[in-house]
Structure 1
Amino acid sequence: MGYQKEKLFNIYFFVIALVNLASSVMMQMFNATIALHMDALGSAASVSGTIISIGAVSATVYRFFGGKICEKRGRRKLMVIGMADFALMSLFMGLTNALPLLYILRVLQMFGYSMASTCASVAVIDVIPQKRVGEGLGYYSLAASAAQAFGPSVALFFYHTEGGFFSVMSGMCFMGAVAVMITLCFLNYEIKGRKASDQWNTSGQENEGKGIWQYIEKRALPAAWVYFFVTLTGSLVTMYLTLFASRSGIDNAGMFFTISVVFMVAARIVSGKLSDRRGVLWAVVPGMLLLISGYMMLIFSDEIHLLFYIAGGFYGFGTGMASPALNAQAVKGVPKTRVSVASSTFFLPMDISFMAGSVLWGVMIDYFEFRLLFIMAAGLSCIAVLLSFLLFSARPKQQRVETAEQVL
């Protein structure tokens, strides 16, 4: 049988993608300026790291329960509440310099971000045809790539105005408010009773399990485990690559990220179609091999600076190939009543690895050379490749789930 194409783009898809873009840009704006703000207040550099880590803990806690809550309360309602909370807490953070209050507001801010992003990731699956879920998620995730490209620049533009950090937070609040209004006006498929998610497996009432399995979808575990290694190694790049470039005398380290975003955008478009038509391994394994190649180039880039920028292309294309394919795999074959829990399960590793990576890599940098850390990142990526073959090989679905549970 040929590959039958179904309509992918609709008004709901674009509204949800816009919410994803707004929340991603807002997050990039905050991350790009919080260290500058703390430095201006005379605080130690570690304070900004603590603020970010506290927010990650808050996001992780909500993400664990968020899928279940989203299924019960509805996507649209929680997206609006989450974005409104994210916007307002950001504004309040711009109005105070008291550190204890900033910590409290950061917890509430990330609670709202996690709520909005979790519900958006579920809602977009509702409106994507099942046979094109990989391709659809590839396009949807372009918003995050775009945010990485211009979010920090927008933040720095606002920061260098007269208002400084308050201008950045006000800009974030405005973006969040716009996203809330557009969501209220146009994202009404649940209100109209459109059963967009009915295209998913709905045969019978699935046993949701007891205890922890109410909040974790077993069928999403294989993709979640592989994604954990992707994001854990990626945290070394996102958090500490600029420090490596500074110590190695590499100019314009930001060009690495610009190059990576360009290649990431191209890869996300290719990855979705490839995983839909040929299977998840055809996207994930090449993506991981590209990541390994990128880390190997970084090992020698302190001596050959050109390799630093080439590695950016390999890193971007590899990440762009693997991430959307794994996301699509996490929700394939999941009953519609569990799609939100599956999506939440898949993104939990991202939050956990962000917390663990900030500590793990940070401590190791104090004792080891970056070269050894890049070797370790390549080694962990090799583990992800082996896990991919183990968990996504042509075996019955139940056996793959049982293997993932044994790992857990």
Structure 2
Amino acid sequence: MKKESIFTATFIINTLISFLFYIVFYVLTSSIGTYALNQLHQSTVISLSLSSIFVIGALIGRVWTGIMVTKLGMKRLLYIGGLIFLILTFGYYFTTNIPLLFLIRVIQGAGFGIGATASGTIAGHVVPASRRGEGIGYYALSVTLAAAVGPALSIQIYSSFGFKTLLTLALALLILTFIMIFFVRVKEFSAEEREHALAHQPKGIDKYIEKSALPISIIAFLAGFIDSAILTGMGPFSMDLHVPAAGSLFFTMYAILIFISRPFTGRIFDSKGDNWVFHPTFLFFAVAMLLVGVAGYFHPTSGFLMLLVAGAAFGLGYGGVAPFGQAVAIREAGKERIGVATSTFFGFLDLGVGGGPIVLGAIIPLLGHGMVGFRNLYLLSAPAVVIVWIIYYLIHGKNHKKVLG
């Protein structure tokens, strides 16, 4: 029996759109805090909050998209999100007023949330159900590559040319994205499907959250929270270890291992079921956090190599949470609820990743000064991953020995 094709023109274009959305997100978010700290002379709390406030807007955008996707259509929402993201990026040029910058970040985040959720929903629709894990896995590489390239690109351009050059790059990429949306071809809901979905739309909180996606979304929130320890601390931690290059190479190894493993893990997910992917995912995730925690502890010269090995384990571990978690979320929901399931899953993931730095910023000083605080955080993160692994099994894994399509 011939396999249904994953790599259609729309799938490829939509994946590129997702990549550009996330590149712009990382390019701006990675340097907005430094810009506020150095150029606008704001406190560390304000600077970090400018990075995190974007997530609140993204969450609002995701929730709104989830309930509006049936009514407005996936492609139209992709246009709306892209346009908001583009217009609000212009706003950075014209203000240094902090309250106004917070407002810009929130609304821009909403545009990003709308566009990213619409793109993820399109991916869920155009990927064959029989190859959903594999297809969503390939689609999610757009986020992985952006996470590997975006922060490094942002830091390099900001340090060499300044924040306005970053804005120019972001605008150029978003204009390109807006043009690419025109070439997306997706079968929208028919009038009958739309009327049926709207007539049977749940009331209350169920309108905004897909209940069937909640178990895997809770896991994504917890995993994202632990991941934020890496995003927040890898830079200063590697500098304190006197191996700053290893801090960058950590994310390079992370991306490489995801690219290498994704074709195999996607097929395993589709053919053998959830647990065959998620159990190794949590094992490698825990090992990665432990390796970061002990990097350079026993011998200073071991720090560089240990962080590289940890980055590889992190790719095999945390790198599987988002793509296969999304595949589970949309599989559990009906066709007309794919948009809500997508927004539920990524909304929880965003809360974990975006809220983590604020909470951890308060916790790290309690664990020790400088490098000691970060080291203790990572050492505590390893058993925290094991706890999340147990929660996964209790609320999802024990009921899913093998689920296909």
TM-score, normalized by the shorter chain, greater than 0.5: yes
Aligned to 2:226: 233
Aligned to 1:92: 91
Aligned to 1:24: 22
Deviation (angstroms), 1:274: 1.2
Deviation (angstroms), 1:40: 2.4
SS of 1:367's equivalent in the other structure is: helix
In the alignment, is residue 387 of structure 1 matched against residue 391 of structure 2? yes
Deviation (angstroms), 1:98: 2.2
2:257 corresponds, among 246, 258, 263, to 263
CA distance in 2, matches of 1:355, 1:102: 18
Deviation (angstroms), 1:289: 0.2
Q: Which one-letter code corresponds to 1:5 in the other structure?
A: K
CA distance in 2, matches of 1:396, 1:144: 27
CA distance in 2, matches of 1:249, 1:212: 49
Aligned to 1:400: none
CA distance in 2, matches of 1:378, 1:152: 25
Q: Tell me, yes or no, if the aligned pair for 2:28 and 2:154 is still in contact at 8 Å.
A: yes
Deviation (angstroms), 1:394: 5.6
SS of 2:42's equivalent in the other structure is: coil
Q: Tell me, yes or no, if the aligned pair for 2:220 and 2:352 is still in contact at 8 Å.
A: no
1:138-177 equivalent positions in 2, closer than 5 A: 138-160=137-159, 164-177=162-175
CA distance in 1, matches of 2:198, 2:66: 18
CA distance in 2, matches of 1:325, 1:372: 30
Q: Tell me, yes or no, if the aligned pair for 2:65 and 2:114 is still in contact at 8 Å.
A: yes
CA distance in 1, matches of 2:144, 2:107: 25
Q: Where does structure 2 lack aligned partners over 5 or more consecutive residues?
A: 368-372
Deviation (angstroms), 1:246: 2.5
Shift in CA distance, 371/158, structure 1 to aligned 2, threshold 3 Å: closer
Shift in CA distance, 395/153, structure 1 to aligned 2, threshold 3 Å: closer
Aligned length: 385
Q: Tell me, yes or no, if the aligned pair for 1:89 and 1:105 is still in contact at 8 Å.
A: yes
Deviation (angstroms), 1:243: 1.9
CA distance in 1, matches of 2:189, 2:68: 20
Map Cα deviations across residues 138-172 of structure 1 (whole Å, 9 max, x no partner): 1001111111222234334543565x211211211
1:369-408 equivalent positions in 2, closer than 5 A: 369-393=373-397, 395=399
CA distance in 1, matches of 2:271, 2:217: 21
Q: Tell me, yes or no, if the aligned pair for 1:94 and 1:170 is still in contact at 8 Å.
A: no
Map Cα deviations across residues 12-68 of structure 1 (whole Å, 9 max, x no partner): 101211110110110111122213322123223332211122211121223233211
SS of 2:244's equivalent in the other structure is: coil
Aligned to 1:401: none
Shift in CA distance, 79/173, structure 1 to aligned 2, threshold 3 Å: same
Deviation (angstroms), 1:205: 9.8
SS of 1:321's equivalent in the other structure is: helix
Q: Which one-letter code corresponds to 1:332 in the other structure?
A: R
SS of 1:332's equivalent in the other structure is: helix
Aligned to 1:339: 338
Q: Tell me, yes or no, if the aligned pair for 2:82 and 2:111 is still in contact at 8 Å.
A: yes
In the alignment, is residue 131 of structure 1 matched against residue 124 of structure 2? no
Map Cα deviations across residues 313-334 of structure 1 (whole Å, 9 max, x no partner): 1111212233322111111142
Alignment TM-score, normalising by the size of structure 1: 0.88
CA distance in 2, matches of 1:36, 1:348: 26
Q: Tell me, yes or no, if the aligned pair for 2:4 and 2:128 is still in contact at 8 Å.
A: yes
Deviation (angstroms), 1:109: 0.8
Deviation (angstroms), 1:265: 2.1
Map Cα deviations across residues 327-355 of structure 1 (whole Å, 9 max, x no partner): 11111142111111111111121121134
Map Cα deviations across residues 181-213 of structure 1 (whole Å, 9 max, x no partner): 1112x11334xx687xx9xxxx99995432101
Aligned to 1:120: 119
CA distance in 1, matches of 2:127, 2:142: 16
Q: Where does structure 1 lack aligned partners over 5 or more consecutive residues?
A: 398-408
Q: Tell me, yes or no, if the aligned pair for 1:274 and 1:283 is still in contact at 8 Å.
A: yes
Q: Which one-letter code corresponds to 2:334 in the other structure?
A: P
Shift in CA distance, 194/65, structure 1 to aligned 2, threshold 3 Å: closer
1:30-69 equivalent positions in 2, closer than 5 A: 30-38=28-36, 39-69=38-68
Aligned to 1:189: 186
CA RMSD of aligned residues (A): 2.4
Q: Tell me, yes or no, if the aligned pair for 1:235 and 1:354 is still in contact at 8 Å.
A: yes
CA distance in 2, matches of 1:387, 1:279: 18
SS of 2:186's equivalent in the other structure is: coil
Q: Tell me, yes or no, if the aligned pair for 1:281 and 1:392 is still in contact at 8 Å.
A: no
CA distance in 2, matches of 1:307, 1:31: 28
Q: Which one-letter code corresponds to 1:275 in the other structure?
A: F
CA distance in 2, matches of 1:396, 1:44: 48
Aligned to 2:238: 245
- When structure 1 is superposed on structure 2, of 370-379 and 270-279 the one drifting more is 370-379
Of all paired residues, the percent bearing the same amino acid is 25
